[in-house]
Amino acid sequence: MNAAELLGGASDHLGYFAKAAEAAKAPLAITAAPLPGVLPPVLSGRYKLEGLLGAGGMGMVYRARDLLAEQHGEPEPMVAVKLLRDDVAECPDGAALLYSEYALTRHLPHPGVVRVHGFEVDAASQQAFFSMQLLRGMPLDRLLCEQPLGLAWGELRGIALGLLEVLAFAHGRGVLHGDIKPSNLILGEHGVQLFDFGLGQAMDGVLEGLAKLSRQRISAWTPAYAAPELLDGAPLSPASDLFAAACVIYELAGGKQPFGRDGAQAMHAQHAEQPLERPANLPKNVWPALRQALALDPAARQAGARELQQALAAPRLSLLRRWFGQPQGHLADRESPHVQPQQ
């Protein structure tokens, strides 16, 4: 399904946006006109585009030079600029979707979330865009290519805890990401960072008035990381974000996705469900908590991101400590369903 099908044609207007009641009373002030075939080399007289960094189903991200910042002596004038694809931008209110992503990201001031700078519309092309921090590091999908058997626990632990810290913060601020996967995470000098909130949305009562995609008409999830209820038409939830994060952690630990490339829903439909095996690089004491986060039934994912983070932070006990620290008769290597967080 391409971006035009996700958003609808010009005659659909806001048909694929579920807007808050007040915002629905008036048209959006920002609209995107059809684009010329070639982007201007400089957007808004300030951002000089220097190369394409990546493209997805609805947007494109360019490396750009902030000429204004450079003129005033900024030693690091490079930024990233996100624009809509041509077919999306041609929709009358396509810019509303881009602004929604910008607003959700701006609502999350955290070092583990990409930092956005500003939302603008280029006067010459009428192209909406927003500028943001140029992330430097290794995307986790590339890391997995270089480590096909997964990461050792000592390397994985910090990445997993960082991801869950960011997710817990986002949920605490009322923001759902909706598309957590290795290609939307980058490992830099100061840890893991999450970006691309294009499929995200705010929880009820948060940032009311933002345009939202109609979840009944969109099918842009990545099956290998999408919670099965999303593919069945259920709304985004903290539990669906947690499932995706758990899939990423599982893959980092063993080099393969827990339910294969087609995901949990396809496995269930084919009646090919098999008990998940603990990845060899994952300590036994944290496996019960991760396995619970991978439950196909969202009601079974009882813990949140913070609780899973605490479980993964639990110290790995030595054989002697496990043996002498347990009640008499308790098997030292038995997997306990109770995981105590680190104090």
Looking at per-residue confidence, does 266 or 132 come out higher? 132
Of 151-165, 171-185, 274-288, 304-318, which range is least confident? Answer: 304-318
Domains in the chain, CATH or no CATH each: 3-132 (3.30.200.20), 138-324 (1.10.510.10)
Q: 3-class SS at 176?
A: strand
Q: Which candidate, 306, 313, 276, 279, places its Cα nearest to that of 292?
A: 276
Residue 318 has a pLDDT of 52
Buried b (16+ CB within 10 A) or exposed e, 293-315: bbbbebeebebbbbbbbbbbbbe
Residue 263 has a pLDDT of 58
Quick one: pLDDT band at residue 34, thresholds 50, 70, 90? Answer: very low
**Distance in angstroms between the alpha carbons of the first and the last residue of the chain:** 48
Give pLDDT tens digits for 251-278: 999 999 999 876 565 555 554 466 899 9
% of the chain residues with pLDDT over 90: 60
Residue 309 has a pLDDT of 97
Residue 56 has a pLDDT of 80
**Cut 0.85: pTM above it:** no
Asked if the model's pLDDT at residue 186 lies above 70, the reply is: yes
- Is residue 297 among the annotated active site residues? no
Those residues whose C-beta lies under 8 Å from the C-beta of residue 101, and which sit 6 or more positions away, are: 59, 82, 130, 196, 197, 198, 200
Contact criterion met (CB below 8 Å) for 4 and 193: no
Give pLDDT tens digits for 214-258: 554 445 678 899 999 988 889 999 999 999 999 999 999 999 999
Quick one: pLDDT band at residue 88, thresholds 50, 70, 90? Answer: confident
Average pLDDT of span 162-178: 97
DSSP alpha helices (H): ranges in 74-192?
86-89, 94-106, 140-146, 153-172
Q: Given 179, 232, 241, 297, which residue is catalytic?
A: 179
Residue 212 has a pLDDT of 73
Report the chain's mean pLDDT, rounded to a whole number: 81
Of 102-111, 226-235, 325-334, which range is least confident? Answer: 325-334
Average pLDDT of span 289-301: 94
- Which of the 8 DSSP states describes residue 213? B
Instruction: Extract the annotated binding site.
Output: 82
How many CB atoms are closer than 10 A to CB 272?
11
Instruction: Extract the annotated binding site for ATP.
Output: 82
Q: What is the token pair recorded at 2?
A: 């391409």
Average pLDDT of span 167-184: 97
Give pLDDT tens digits for 37-66: 578 999 999 999 999 999 887 889 999 999
Q: 3-class SS at 147?
A: coil
